[in-house]
Chains A and B, each alone.
Chain A
Amino acid sequence: MSTELPFLVELLVSALILAGAGFAVIGALGLARMPDFYMRVHLPTAGTTLGVGCTLSASVIYFSFSLQTLSVHEFLISMFLFITAPVSSHMMAKVALHTGVKFVDHTQGRPWPSRTQRPSRDNSQILSDWQTRDRKETE
């Protein structure tokens, strides 16, 4: 484990770890800065995709060199994350939509209403318009 790695490899591993951490920070920063829930859902994907991707690439390179065998566990981690992360984002957005979480007023377009919709105060008028339109469409 404590074998000396070539300088270039160390450099690459460090750069990848820093980049991964950077993407995670950016994801967290975005989470704090965005004005509404729907916009906040977007930024953590940066952390789970490229953030984790860079960190895992660093892990693959480091362990492949120090143990002298190709390390492939990491690909499984990214595979599982790529399957589960979008599902959780999707479910959060969906639940927010169905419980009527407000969105900022300059959002273009409107979501369709769900049967369980409890329209929020600000967007209620537009949402009820959509509700009647949707009802017509399904009939």
Chain B
Amino acid sequence: MSEGPTVRIPTEPRDPLWFRLLPHPLISLVILVAWLVLDGNLTPANILLGGFLAWLLPRITRRFWRHPVHIRSWPKLVRFAVIVIWDIVIANLQAIRLLLKSPQDLQPAFFVVHLELTNPIAITVLANTITLTPGTVSADLSSRQERLLVHGLHVPDVEATIALIKARYEAPLKEIF
């Protein structure tokens, strides 16, 4: 990387060596595993090619991942994933029940969730989780990333829904990232 006198990208020259060589070991690992599963063969040549891609892709996209992805607690992450998948199933069944009602009886709502999370990846995961469960879609994030606007399909009690999102999704995410 050339380092001109006028253009200076702040993080690059000061990054430790391992970070420059392998910026995101976790992402590299995911790419390698995805590559091998996708191709389905475990020949040395294929592992080598996957390894090369796993090294190259995080390097190319390094600018988008300014902070290392750090997961503080794997058991909690697994627990969170199980809860989310379970909630998706439940929410789907609820969505079907809502659909059988007349659309006029639904009580749609916009509501704002004030975020306690600050990690961009944690916020992304939260917004994705909210959208993945049928019935709620995260519609916008405020420019300073402290409020999340959510649209709900049928929200009889707005405050309770906000409390549920905060307790069920945000609290675990705060401990994971």
Where the two chains meet, the residues of A that have a C-beta atom closer than 8 Å to any C-beta of B are: 23, 26, 29-30, 33-36, 38-39, 41-43, 45-46, 49-50, 72-73, 75-76, 79, 82-83, 85-87, 89-90, 93-94, 96-98, 103-104, 106-112, 114
Contacts and interface: CB of A to CB of B under 8 A. Distances in A.
B108 A104 contact: yes
Given A73-B40, A87-B128, A107 B109 contact: yes
Given A109-B109, A112-B112, A46 B134 contact: yes
- The majority secondary structure among interface residues of chain A is helix
A31 to B, nearest CB: 10
Interface in B98-117: 99, 103-104, 106-112
- Chain B contact residues, majority secondary structure: mixed
Contact of B103 (A33, A46, A96): A33
27 contacts: A26-B96, A30-B99, A35-B103, A39-B103, A39-B151, A42-B151, A43-B99, A45-B134, A46-B95, A50-B88, A50-B92, A76-B37, A86-B138, A87-B128, A89-B131, A89-B137, A93-B151, A98-B140, A106-B107, A106-B108, A107-B109, A107-B110, A108-B155, A109-B158, A112-B140, A112-B147, A114-B140
Given A76-B38, A107-B110, A90 B96 contact: no
B142 A42 contact: no
Interface in B38-80: 38, 40
Nearest to A94: B140
B121 interface: no
A82 B34 CA distance: 15
Given A43-B95, A50-B88, A96-B139, 12 more contacts: A26-B99, A30-B99, A36-B108, A38-B137, A42-B95, A72-B37, A82-B128, A83-B128, A93-B138, A97-B139, A109-B109, A111-B151
Interface residues of B, number: 39
Given A86-B127, A112-B142, A75 B132 contact: no
A82 B151 contact: no
B108 A103 contact: yes
A41 B151 contact: yes
B107 A108 contact: yes
A114 B104 CA distance: 28
A35 B100 CA distance: 14
Determine which residue in A30, A36, A73, A109 has the highest number of CB atoms from chain B within 10 A of its CB, and name it: A109
Contacts of A106: 107-108
A65 B95 CA distance: 33
The 7 A-B residue pairs with the shortest CB-CB distance, nearest first, are: A86-B131, A108-B109, A93-B139, A109-B110, A86-B128, A50-B92, A42-B153
B151 A43 contact: no
B125 to A, nearest CB: 10
